[in-house]
Amino acid sequence: MTNVRFVKFLLFTNALVPLVMLLWDVYREHVGPNPPEFMTRTTGMLTLVFLMITLAVSPARKITGWNGLIKYRRMLGLFAFFYGFLHLMTYVGFDRYFNFRSIPGDVLSRPFIAFGMTAFLLMTPLALTSTDKMVKRLGGKRWRRLHALVYAAGVAGALHFWLFVKSDTRLPLTFAFILLLLLAHRVFVRLYPPGRSDEVSTSAR
């Protein structure tokens, strides 16, 4: 238990480092000629990074056999939501100037905004139901079914990033490729679960 708490403390601390560095760069005015765009792009990137790490926990656990990894997935997912919320706030503040009435029209007129908003809306119920009490209230099966939406959020987030950049699409395509691998692993495990291969090899004998 002590080791888990210590690792969670390290994870929590390190997950905040990018935010501290961003604020430090803003304070020192090392954010380029367009600070709002720099902050928006950085928080969006951090959202996708933590989202991909969260999705990678289950495959890493199954491949390495280290079941303890699952204990840190919730915190990683919450940090993905946290940075997604900051990313949304940069849009609301710097792009819409807190004019909330203009947001629906902007969502309908700009596809990349629509995909970004979709990703955040999909992540919101996942963050709200991340507690142990909500797992018990929903039941394990319904909870897992709901949290499968994280893959849809990842797809929407990758599309949002791809449509946002105007020329260099290497980073969005990299995120899309990583997401494709994670989805492929999920489908493979569902079609060929580890126990099933053991049963086939046993029956063959």
**Cα dist from 3 to 30, 60, 71, 75, whole Å:** 38, 20, 11, 16
Q: Calculate the average pLDDT of the chain.
A: 90
pTM of the model: 0.90
CA angle 78, 16, 92 (to 5 degrees): 70
**pLDDT, tens digit, 9 for 90 and up, residues 76-91:** 999 999 999 999 999 9
112: left (phi over 0), alpha (psi -120 to 50) or beta: alpha
> Which pair of structure tokens corresponds to residue 48?
């996708």
**pLDDT, tens digit, 9 for 90 and up, residues 23-78:** 999 999 999 999 999 999 999 999 999 999 999 999 999 888 888 899 999 999 99
Question: By mean pLDDT, which of 35-39, 102-106, 120-124, 198-202 is the weakest?
Answer: 198-202
Within 10 angstroms of residue 123's Cβ, the number of other Cβ atoms is 25
Work out the pLDDT band at 197, boundaries 50, 70, 90: very low
Nearest-angstrom CA–CA distance, 152 and 51: 11
